[in-house]
Copies of this chain bind each other. A is one copy, B any other.
């Protein structure tokens, strides 16, 4: 098996280049010099973000196919741009590669990443290849653009604003758990076999169903809400916005803290797919709690003034994902999850995400 350490750096760069479309006119100097040179977009602000995927922390190579690793490495960054209402423009890739990574896996990671970048018509303009003495790490920097005064921030929510979430939540957390369970029941020496999604979904006949595949794919191939974020920004429809990398509870807390408001979330309104709900139920877990604390959804949570609800029309029609009203911002700075248990309405504090850097 050929590994990345059998190749030179320029051979690896050459392999990346084969996945890239022809460079756009605004790219003056591309891959291969000390830095990239680009023409900025006129009359636009620039939106910059960097996010890393670290093996053993953000993904497990034993059950995450290399194409999904590449896809996710870019998706988490696109999700940040989506949360700002920005149009993606370019990316810089920084890989730290273990020497024993096969060239096939390297190519598949790059293919997964560049397929997503092409889908969003953004261009990889440069990057860096380093060797890692430990885990595989993929650091992606993205730059997007937004019209002046249209950038969505976390801090614009006011008491009375309504809270919305895009798509559905919880499926990615369920999918990750399914992948872990599937892997745990396999012989761990059989990891290579495990690297393709098809194989993963055939580990247990009883589990093989489109439901399982759907949840796993929600974890493996998240679809950042780029179009929806753009429509929210263009129509000035949202007063605050955040993406759900660490789960809905964490996202609502972040908007509340940045905006100086509280929030009351209606547990019954949360968009949790019936199949996701059923799967958590079957394990004796609370579907609502699992879905608000589970990460990896890469949906958006945003707030909107009730009287400007009409501005949501474009996002509703053309955003590519349903919008669900899940609660309201409050003057009281508490963030509560409201649930109906029997005939009683119970407000409990919304759980926080991971508190320590572990």
Contacts and interface: CB of A to CB of B under 8 A. Distances in A.
Contact of A52 (B4, B56, B96, B144): B96
A295 B141 CA distance: 26
Given A135-B134, A356-B8, A126 B50 contact: yes
Nearest to A136: B134
A33 interface: yes
A131 B86 CA distance: 28
A137 interface: yes
A40 interface: yes
Interface stretch (A76-84, A190-198, A277-285): A76-84
Nearest to A56: B133
Given A36-B47, A46-B37, A358 B130 contact: no
Contacts of A11: 357
Contacts of A40: 40-41, 44-46
A316 to B, nearest CB: 22
A10 B28 CA distance: 38
A48 B50 CA distance: 13
A12 B357 CA distance: 9
Given A39-B45, A94-B50, A153 B33 contact: yes
A84 B132 contact: no
Contacts of A47: 35-37
18 contacts: A7-B357, A9-B357, A29-B151, A34-B49, A35-B47, A37-B45, A38-B45, A40-B44, A48-B92, A50-B92, A50-B93, A51-B128, A52-B130, A54-B130, A99-B358, A128-B139, A132-B135, A133-B134
Across the A-B interface, give the 10 residue pairs with the lowest CB-CB distance, nearest first.
Answer: A134-B134, A35-B49, A56-B133, A40-B40, A34-B83, A141-B141, A34-B80, A139-B139, A50-B92, A52-B130
Given A33-B153, A141-B141, 10 more contacts: A33-B258, A35-B49, A38-B45, A48-B126, A50-B128, A52-B130, A94-B94, A96-B137, A129-B357, A131-B358
